[in-house]
Structure 1
């Protein structure tokens, strides 16, 4: 297993371009199973989770061609081998990747059956799949969960459009149901649908393939089923979680950094939420410029009470950036309450930050109060382990700002979501090396 050895306390500087969006990639790659025609996708990030999804497609018999342009691939699912679903290889690979769950909708819609082992992913708390399967059952699928094998089975002669009111605005659940409904008979209405930019991207791509989806960008989607979908070309958005991570990195290391080509129109509340911590962010065209700051001060509410930042479904603040925000707050002036509503295990990494000298009160599994040190007491380097993708990058940012040397073990977790992160940080001047 690999680790990062980081010499902290150095200012960084320069330009960095975010990778293609990881969470969008897992949806878009699943959608190539909906057609026998070629689908060309640009700006695919070279990261562990996405590469696993591409490998699964190859195993299904999808023809995968890597084009000359970096991050560009052509996928042709004209000869899909459903027998692969029965293999131990499928069980092993699919269970290690949570994004594999989004293959169920396309397989069911096009071939009439699908199965999936309980998927893996980050250990950040309960991530139930009820929304997916309740919705598929409403479209007419038969559903069985084999507790002994820990495997889900669905099949249907033909899906039929229905009115579906989701019990939660699940992003992956909405994506699965949209991909199933585009080939269903009749009209499907999905209310309380997720409307994240990545879900919007999926819907726009499907429409270019011949689907008929109305209401894209809202929480009410109307889908008129079609008989067949064709090929298309699609370019993925820059990863908004990387963009937020780089904002936090600049603030913590007192660095002047320009984040290039960010698609500002798709960032929602992310820039303004970091501004509430006192971080200066300038928009320059489609770039974000973060000037070097010695100090930044957390705002209070209008009545003077302590600022609370909580995650919420889009267009609220994404839960994937709360851990970054928490780390940045440790060296701000002021106090903030971080409320992680969606996942009950995501704040447990704060014990490492406390060991580094941060002043954090973990109130319960969902809430942490951070008392900013205003750089009077810098964090100190320690040895620690990355528990998941986002916490891992948060600890990496903390280590880059800390006095002394830190070692972060289990960086394979970070590699799951961040492309060549050590090389890209070195280009900004970071003292980081990968060790075994």
Structure 2
């Protein structure tokens, strides 16, 4: 059943082509666009060119892109809708609705939170779309037709709770297994592995409650691991059987969340390090893995003085991380650059605003929650701003929490009511 070599698995997770943005945080879940993507050096005076826009329902789920098709996951009236659209025009191709009664919890928004996952099987014979709704409904649709292939009401089956904001950890596909941070209190279903083709439950693992952090895949010691930041721990899972390889405490009890994804930091020794961060007094941690195989050392814990970001995942370039520090709901916030060894910041740009980051080559994009797009150089020596533009009318008080996507020079970004696509490629 599992035929790919271990290192190849991390790249086969989505079988993405150059220019695709098939899942949360891009082709490799690290906030970095495909290597052949280009971006403008600055914006014209009137701002970047708007290609098209369309209305959308509620939710914080960004879009996923493969080829000429995008996938939108949003709430329309009393349904969570998975919808395919043409990336050149925004015109719908197909849609599939599932009833929902989600009320939003602390947030007024009542839509889905998780970015869709577009995945091809290991032989490239079929492409499918996986979505994880706010009430834990896991669905698999055919990418070409929208036909519902299978579904699992995970919260009902495994006894999971909606949490503060509903289910918000985007599942991951590695090889033939789809893994989700379900957070079930029955059957040790903190993390559940499904056969991605049939939806069959392959294994359940741990008693960990769900977080809002999405897992990543990383090659460590010659094998591919699934790395999770759960409600109260950071841990590694073997994809084939759900075996817990290592775990360390991370997070805090009470009204807290962990939202940023782990960041993989490769090393020449193939040992590997992982960077975890959260706000609410948690701070940051570096975990070094191996040797010996399957063991880890909690290398460093730099509380909030290094980085404590609410949900924005740091983005790496070589030996440095770029990150937005602070909380969207409280402030103040700052943009930081620091070395991967956890030492002090190289530079700090105060009062930057909160938002999310992505990188195209050596250019960083910061999408602020108030609708402003900022381009700056991925330069560890100093903050160098290249351009900025308001993508949404500030008079409408836009709220941009959905993660943007970048594919074939097009920038896809949505607020609570509208999806816009801008031409940013050279």
TM-score, length-scaled by structure 2: 0.27
Which is helix-richer, 1 or 2? 1
Which is strand-richer, 1 or 2? 2
TM-score, length-scaled by structure 1: 0.27
Structure of higher CA gyration radius: 1
